[in-house]
Amino acid sequence: MALAERLRRLPVIHQLRQSVGLQRGMLVAGLIITGVFLLTAIFAPVLAPYGFAQLRDENGNFGAQQPPSAEHLLGTTVGGYDVLSRVIWGAQTAALVIIVAVILSIFIGVLLGMLSGYLGGWLDRVLVVVADAVYAFPSLLLAIVAAIVISGGQSSLFGGIMAAAISITVVFIPQYFRVIRAETIRIKSEAYVEAAKVIGTSNWRIMTRHVLRNSTRTLPLIFTLNSSEAILTLAGLGFLGFGIEPTAAAEWGFDLNKAISDVTSGIWWTSVFPGAAIVLVVLGVTLIGESLNDLADPRLRTRRRAEATPTDTTSITAVVPGGALNPAAQGLEGLEEVRR
């Protein structure tokens, strides 16, 4: 019973129960697409008919730019790889990069945001100015610079994935930093923090016990928003030639770059499928993020029944623990929208 109650309070599950109608539809669609993506990433070795760098089988070479056929359901690329296999293996690359990038940036961003917001002073001011400067800058350009530094523009197997992930991390840290800092400043003035101070609790303990636990409620939301951005940044880097070599791993952006000239000669299968894969994954993750955002904002949440009476605008109540989220004031509003 207690376990069921705990499950019900888990981030996404809580919102799923809270949602109705169209909003539930969007959330469920997002969850399904994301689930399929993750399963594809995990089971890529089983699902893919060929390896990502495989050029030939027992019948000889695949041949370049072959149209879709029974042997190659989605055709072959200009480099002679099987498109379907590379699309499936690409899911694995994307998932790995997202996981590494988001974990790294959450870790660093949350730590810095908490320190900055809690300690204040000159450290806070310097960090805020730095974060704002980085935040306002085109993220792709920053990721390019980071990619040059990390891999020198070259890419190997593991190195390529790490380079892409760290480049994306550099871009994301300011976002986590801003959100967590704003939350920390809010929580810092709460009575329970003062109470803890009065009884002589150390700063570190207050930060980890009181501030951190209460400032993380927005994280699932940023997490989803950033995952979609991570995929787009990875694809953008790949498209500009900072991707991972085709022999090291499959990467959708890299394949799209190689497909530019194909398009001009009417060869559509080399670009449409990796591109569609990117769109689907970003769509799925964004649908989740968007739904979480709406459900957290009482003005946007579809209310049960009350919808019929338009004048009934005063009966809004906060359902999120800790009160209604105020996404814009914490910079959330901008996050999913302003950058690429």
Partner 1 sequence: MTDILSGARQEELSETGTPAGPSRRRASGGGSTLWRYLLVRFLLIFPTVFILVTMVFILMRTIGDPITAAQGGRLSPDQLQALIERAGYDRPILIQYVEYLGQVFTGNFGNTISDNQPVTQVLLTYGGATLELAFYALIVAFIVGIPLGMLAAYLRDRWGDAVLRVFAILAYATPVFFAGLLLKLIFSVWLGALPVSGRASPRTEITLTRLDGATGIYLIDALRTGNGAIISDVLLHAILPGIALGLLTAGVFLRLVRTNVIGTLSMDYVDAARSRGVSEFRLVRKHAYKPALIPIITVIGLQIAMLLGGAVLTETTFEWKGLGFQLAQYLAARDFVAVQGIVALLAVIVAVTNFIVDVIAALIDPRVRY
- Segment 281-340, which members bind partner 1 (CB under 8 A)? 282-283, 286-287, 290, 299-300, 302, 307, 310-311, 313, 326, 328-331, 333-334, 336-340
In the complex, the smallest distance separating the C-beta of residue 27 from partner 1, rounded to whole angstroms, is 12
The answer to whether 222 and 175 are in contact (CB under 8 A) is yes
Select from 259, 249, 248, 276 the least CA-distant residue to 41: 249
Q: One symbol per residue from 95 to 134: x for binding partner 1 (CB under 8 A), - otherwise; what is it?
A: ------------------------------x--xxx-xxx
Q: Any residues with CB less than 8 A from the CB of 171 and at least 6 apart, and which? A: 134, 139, 142, 143, 146, 229, 233, 339
CA distance 198 to 211: 16
The answer to whether 216 and 231 are in contact (CB under 8 A) is no
- Taking CA atoms, 233 is separated from 87, 167, 170, 175, in Å, by 17, 9, 12, 15
In the complex, the smallest distance separating the C-beta of residue 54 from partner 1, rounded to whole angstroms, is 25
Report 178-237 residues binding partner 1 (CB under 8 A): 228, 232, 235-236
State which of residues 31, 38, 47, 240 lies at the interface with partner 1 (CB under 8 A).
Answer: 240
Q: How many residues bind partner 1 (CB under 8 A)?
A: 71
Give the nearer residue to partner 1 in terms of CB position, either 220 or 236: 236
Residue 5 CA to its chain's centroid (Å) = 28
* Binding span for partner 1 by CB under 8 A among 36-44, 73-81, 87-95, 149-157: 149-157
State which of residues 146, 193, 219, 230 lies at the interface with partner 1 (CB under 8 A).
Answer: 146
* DSSP structure class, residue 210: I
Give the nearer residue to partner 1 in terms of CB position, either 10 or 129: 129
In which residue are the tokens 């109540």 written?
Answer: 317
Give the nearer residue to partner 1 in terms of CB position, either 74 or 196: 74
